[in-house]
Structure 1
Amino acid sequence: MRNIILSRGTASDIDKQVSKVLKGLGNPEPPLQLDDVRELLKLDRRYYSTTDDSFLRETISKLTVAGAQVIKRPGLILDAVKKFDLRALYLPDRKRILLDNAQPDAKQRWNEAHEIGHSLIPWHEDLMLGDQEQTLTPGCHDQIEAEANYAAGQLLFLQSQFQIAANDSAPGLDSVRSLKGAFGNTYTTTFWRFIEDSHRDVPMIGLIGAHPRYPKQGQSDFRHIIESPAYRAMFESLPGERLLQAMRTYCQYRKRGPLGAGEVNLVDKRGETHVFLFETFCNTYDCLTLATYQRPHARVVGF
């Protein structure tokens, strides 16, 4: 799935909401404490288990005034959790965030921030009180999830604080690793935010997915393809197989850690060739590949 880049107007509206929260917290230093965010916004956090649904059933039984669809279908939330393998939920009428307690702490941090993001975006409340499967098209659902992800990223990475720190470092996986530690977020979320929010004039592609040397049966090439705004303005989106072929030119057979780096030529929308540096790291669960623009490809002129 390729990342959705929000319109300037939508991003600006969300930025204003996040800025209010950070200002209300006194513009804190990283890492952001989500307990402080919940206290400021008067949000309640609870945990549920997908193997023991008693708490979810109890929660649902208390939502008799949540809205007509919930009244007509008391199992609506429980059905959604099981069918879509949800890791977190936000119940706007109760200002309550529910987190799957089976998730690792680092992932729970992102999931919680994502649900806080929903709570901050005014136009999400009405959408989240209905049956999203029936009332939202896939494109609309993807859009509101992208908006919540954007809000979560701006919150956890403290808006301009991350942009300044990222722009002060060279584009590359070493910088992503350093920023991960500084802001207290996962490698994957830091990687994503680095590509979308830093070095705005540098075309970059991020790839998250299977090991190119050890593909898993039934798994697609990449779970996520992240294109920076500069890349999308200058280049066409490439098929996953083309990107996978590029990775195979340099990736080693080791199963974790750095897998190598190599220069790859890509053609822009005008038909001109440019050089990107691809570098890949594997954390055993996913391979993360960052492709960063280097220079125009030098033409060899014969005599």
Structure 2
Amino acid sequence: MRNIILSRSTASDIDSQVNKVLRGLGNPEPPLRLEDVRELLKLDRGYYSSTDDSFLRETISKLTVAGTQVLKRPGLLLEAVRKFDLRALYLPDRKRILLDQAQPDAKQRWNEAHEIGHSILPWHEDLMLGDHEQSLTPGCHAQIEAEANYAAGQLLFLQSRFRVAANDSTPRLDSIRALKGRFGNTYTTTFWRFIEDSHKDVPMIGLIGSHPRFPKEANGAIFRHVVESPAYRLMFDSLSLDRLRSEILTYCQYRKAGPLGSCEVSITDKRGERHVFLFESFSNTYDCLTLATYQRPHARVVGF
């Protein structure tokens, strides 16, 4: 799945909502404490289990909006939680976030921030309370999820605080690892935020998925997400997944964790001109992250 880049007006509206929260917290130092955010917004947090659904079933059965029970058959949502492998839920009428307790702590942090993102965007409330004509449209669902992800990223990375720190570093995987520790978020979420929100003039591609030498999917697919920077989208067309995979396999080592190698790759822009990108890959055993960053125009060979 390729990332959705929000329009400038939508991003600005979300930035304003996030800024209100951070100002209310006194513009805190990193890492952000989500318990402070919940206290400020008067949000409750609970946990559920996809294997033991008693708590979730009771909670959903009591869910009402304007005095009307939302679900006559609570089991339908329970089935959806399992079918779509949901990791978190936000119940607007109760201002309650529910997290899957089976997820690792680091992932719960992102899932919780994502649901907080839904809670602070006023136009999401109607969609989450049963506006089925819109909410069941795949394009609409993808858009609101992208908006909640953007809000979560702006919260967890403290808006301009991360952008300034990222812009002071070189666009390399080593820089992203350093920023991960400073802001207290996962390598994968720091990687994503770095590509979308820093070095605005540098075309970048980020690939997130399984190890190219040990694909987890039965069909051999290795990418769950392809993250393209705004500068990349402006100058280049999206590369096919097969092309990306074949380039990585030219240098990718067989080790299970750590740096997997790097290589310079030539990519043609929308005008038909070639440019050099540096591809480098790293495995943290759960995900393989590949960062491709623009280096220079491809040198032309002039005949004599």
The TM-score range, normalised by the shorter chain, is: over 0.9
The alignment partner of 2:97 has SS state of strand
> Does 1:179 pair with 2:187?
no
Q: CA deviation at 1:214?
A: 2.3
Deviation at 1:249, TM superposition (A): 1.6
The within-5 A match list for 1:101-116 is 101-116=101-116
Aligned pair count reads 303
2:242 is the counterpart of 1:241: yes
Q: Secondary structure at the match of 1:170?
A: coil
| Letter of the 1:139 counterpart | G
SS in 2 for 1:3: coil
Q: 1:201 to 1:67 in 2, by over 3 A?
A: farther
Q: Post-superposition shift, 1:81?
A: 1.2
1:286-301 → structure 2 map (5 Å cutoff): 286-301=287-302
Partner of 1:95: 95
Q: 1:69 to 1:265 in 2, by over 3 A?
A: farther
> Which runs of at least 4 in structure 1 moved beyond 6 Å after TM superposition?
none
Name the residue aligned to 1:82: 82
Shift in Å at residue 284 of structure 1?
1.7
- Compare 252-261 and 75-84 and name the one that shifted more: 75-84
What SS does the corresponding residue of 2:296 show, helix, strand or coil? strand
CA distance in 2, matches of 1:261, 1:71: 52
Alpha-carbon distance, 1:250 to partner: 1.4
Contact 1:66–1:129 under 8 Å retained in 2: no
Offset at residue 72 of structure 1 (A): 3.2
Q: Secondary structure at the match of 1:93?
A: helix
Q: Is the 8 A contact 1:70 1:76 kept in 2?
A: no
8 Å CA contact 2:202, 2:293 repeated in 1: yes
Asked whether the equivalents of residues 207 and 290 of structure 2 are also in contact (C-alpha less than 8 Å), the reply is yes
In the alignment, the residues of structure 1 paired with residue 60 and residue 163 of structure 2 have an alpha-carbon distance, to the nearest angstrom, of 41
The more displaced of 222-231 and 247-256 is 247-256
Matched with 2:255 is 254
1:1-303 aligned at under 5 Å gives the runs 1-65=1-65, 70-130=70-130, 135-216=135-216, 217-303=218-304
1:156 and 1:215 map into 2 onto residues whose CA distance is: 30
Mark the runs of 5 or more structure 2 residues left unpaired by the alignment.
Answer: none
Letter of the aligned partner of 2:274 in structure 1? T
Alignment check: 8 A CA contact 1:204 1:292 kept? yes
8 A Cα contact 1:67 1:129, kept in partner: no
**Cα displacement (A) at 1:69:** 6.9
Contact preservation (8 Å) 1:206, 1:226: yes
Distance 2:240 2:279 in 1: 16
Select between 114-123 and 50-59 the one with higher mean Cα deviation. 50-59
SS, match of residue 155 in structure 2: helix
The normalised TM-score by structure 1 is: 0.96
Cα distance between partner residues in 2 of 1:90 and 1:254 = 39
RMSD: 1.5
In structure 2, what is the Cα distance between the partners aligned to 1:123 and 1:169? 36
- When structure 1 is superposed on structure 2, of 115-124 and 53-62 the one drifting more is 53-62
Identity %: 82
Per the alignment, in what secondary structure is the counterpart of residue 270 of structure 2?
coil
How many angstroms does 1:75 deviate by?
Answer: 3.0
TM-score by structure 2 length?
Answer: 0.96
Contact preservation (8 Å) 1:69, 1:131: no
Q: What's the CA shift for 1:74?
A: 3.1
Report SS of the residue matched to 1:280.
strand
How far apart, in 2, do the equivalents of 1:16 and 1:64 lie?
A: 30
Where does structure 1 lack aligned partners over 5 or more consecutive residues? none
Partner-residue secondary structure (3-state), 1:58: helix
| Cα deviation, residue 65, structure 1 | 3.9
Q: Which amino acid aligns with 2:22?
A: L
| Stretch of structure 1 that moved more, 250-259 or 25-34 | 250-259
Residue identity opposite 1:290 in structure 2: L
Q: Which amino acid aligns with 2:153?
A: G
User: Which secondary structure does the structure 1 equivalent of 2:56 belong to?
Assistant: helix
- 8 Å Cα contact 1:63-1:70 kept in structure 2: yes
Secondary structure of 2:266's partner? strand
Q: Is the alpha carbon distance of 1:134 and 1:8 closer, same or farther for their aligned partners in structure 2, counting shifts above 3 Å? A: closer
CA distance in 1, matches of 2:50, 2:253: 38
Greater shift, 123-132 or 59-68, is seen at 59-68
Deviation of residue 67 (structure 1)?
Answer: 7.0
